[in-house]
Structure 1
Amino acid sequence: MRMMLCQKESNYIRLKRAKMDKSMFEKIKTLGIGAFGEVCLARKVDTCALYAMKTLRKKDVLLRNQVAHVKAERDILAEADNEWVVRLYYSFQDKDNLYFVMDYIPGGDMMSLLIRMGIFQEDLAQFYIAELTCAVESVHKMGFIHRDIKPDNILIDRDGHIKLTDFGLCTGFRWTHDSKYYQS
């Protein structure tokens, strides 16, 4: 266990020192478009690993007074280390944009699944409600409230389990997650 934690810390420190920029990623396709930017499927050039890369336009974030929400979203993604929240691998910025490089979840979102299936059978609905309860509880244990739980923000992994995403409206229980904290 100690060896695993030391390796994890070493990898974290190495990644933290690395200077990232968007040229390290090749855009494959757009996965979704939002109010402040887009999420695309991207391949890391040196490893060929696939990620979901969220690009936020700084200009729009500033114009709509969303700096606190973006900082809080980055914090929760960085802090989360569990099976229920999409994992953040890298975050960086350039002159115009902010970038969050996260797990690519190939199963899509629950809204797409609902559209395809029309209606969930009772046992599947119970399964997803149980998983959603565990996911929301894990976010609460980290001291955050998601505030935007909807089928579009619930992703389905390749094994059929859920992961929460899009923490742009989240707020916190703790003073460090208070939006006033992020205003400074």
Structure 2
Amino acid sequence: MDTFYFSSPPERSSGIHGPKTLANQERCYMSVALFVGNSLAKMKQLNLRTQGLIWSVENYGMGPGHEQLTTPACISENKYLRFLRTEEGLNNYAIIEPIGEGGFGLVKLVRRKQDGRVYALKQISKERATKSRRSIERMCAERCALVESDSEWIVKLYTAFQDDTNFYFLLEYLPGGDLSTLLAR
């Protein structure tokens, strides 16, 4: 990912605005820089995908019937961008049924209301997860491992979000259960 540089924020006197001004100013500056950098990176990826599609159409001589290739690609791209813009919350999903229970929480089969796709939603209670530092570390390690993984052998994490009482991991639904359940059978 490219690194984006922004001019530094203007200097302010902490005596006039209060002692926390400099810390708040720096935190706000970093948040905006991260948001803008991520937005620019997403636009760059979109442009690369668009250029790849245009290159494919031009180099494979699709001719006048190229709409058969480009229209589904544009529809797919629009759905993907809409998925990225949608604010995640439990109200975006219809719960079909519980499919498992672990030490930290419950896994439910859910259907996304917007597009009808089926996912597994792992619900982790904040109360149970925050009882010990090790629990939080394990949960964060699981999330990081799922985010970094790009293997067909590891379940895909689509997004993670939270509400007042729970953390949620939206995962790829794999019928048949997890490996430990299959080994136990």
Q: TM-score, normalised by structure 1?
A: 0.53
Counterpart in the other structure of 1:89? 158
Counterpart in the other structure of 2:172? 103
Q: CA deviation at 1:80?
A: 1.2
Q: 1:3 aligns with which of 32, 35, 49?
A: 49
Alpha-carbon separation, structure 2, partners of 1:18 and 1:75: 22
Q: 1:25 aligns with which of 68, 93, 105?
A: 93
Aligned structure 1 segments of 4 or more residues deviating by more than 2 angstroms: 2-18, 107-116
Which one scores higher on RCO, CA 8 angstroms, separation ≥ 6? 1
Counterpart in the other structure of 2:126? 58
Q: CA deviation at 1:112?
A: 5.2
SS at match of 1:89: strand
Alpha-carbon separation, structure 2, partners of 1:102 and 1:79: 14
Higher relative helix content? 2
Q: CA deviation at 1:64?
A: 3.1
User: Is 1:74 equivalent to 2:120 in the alignment?
Assistant: no
- Relative to 1, partners in 2 of residues 1:61 and 1:41: Cα closer, same or farther, differing over 3 Å? same
Alpha-carbon separation, structure 1, partners of 2:93 and 2:159: 11
Q: CA deviation at 1:72?
A: 1.2
CA RMSD in angstroms comes to 3.0
Alpha-carbon separation, structure 1, partners of 2:98 and 2:79: 29
SS at match of 1:63: coil
Counterpart in the other structure of 1:138? none
After the TM superposition, which of the residue ranges 13-22 and 26-35 deviates more from structure 2?
13-22
Alpha-carbon separation, structure 2, partners of 1:86 and 1:5: 30
SS at match of 1:38: strand
Q: CA deviation at 1:84?
A: 1.1
Describe how 1:134-145 pairs up with structure 2 within 5 A: none
1:68-95 per-residue CA deviation (whole Å, 9 max, x = no partner) reads 1111111111111221110011110001
Describe how 1:10-49 pairs up with structure 2 within 5 A: 15-49=83-117
Q: CA deviation at 1:19?
A: 1.3
- Relative to 1, partners in 2 of residues 1:22 and 1:38: Cα closer, same or farther, differing over 3 Å? same
Q: CA deviation at 1:16?
A: 4.6
- Relative to 1, partners in 2 of residues 1:69 and 1:13: Cα closer, same or farther, differing over 3 Å? farther
SS at match of 1:35: coil
Alpha-carbon separation, structure 2, partners of 1:113 and 1:35: 18
Q: TM-score, normalised by structure 2?
A: 0.53
- Relative to 1, partners in 2 of residues 1:53 and 1:115: Cα closer, same or farther, differing over 3 Å? same
Q: Which has the higher Rg, Structure 1 or Structure 2?
A: 2
Higher relative strand content? 1
Alignment size in residue pairs: 115
- Relative to 1, partners in 2 of residues 1:109 and 1:61: Cα closer, same or farther, differing over 3 Å? closer
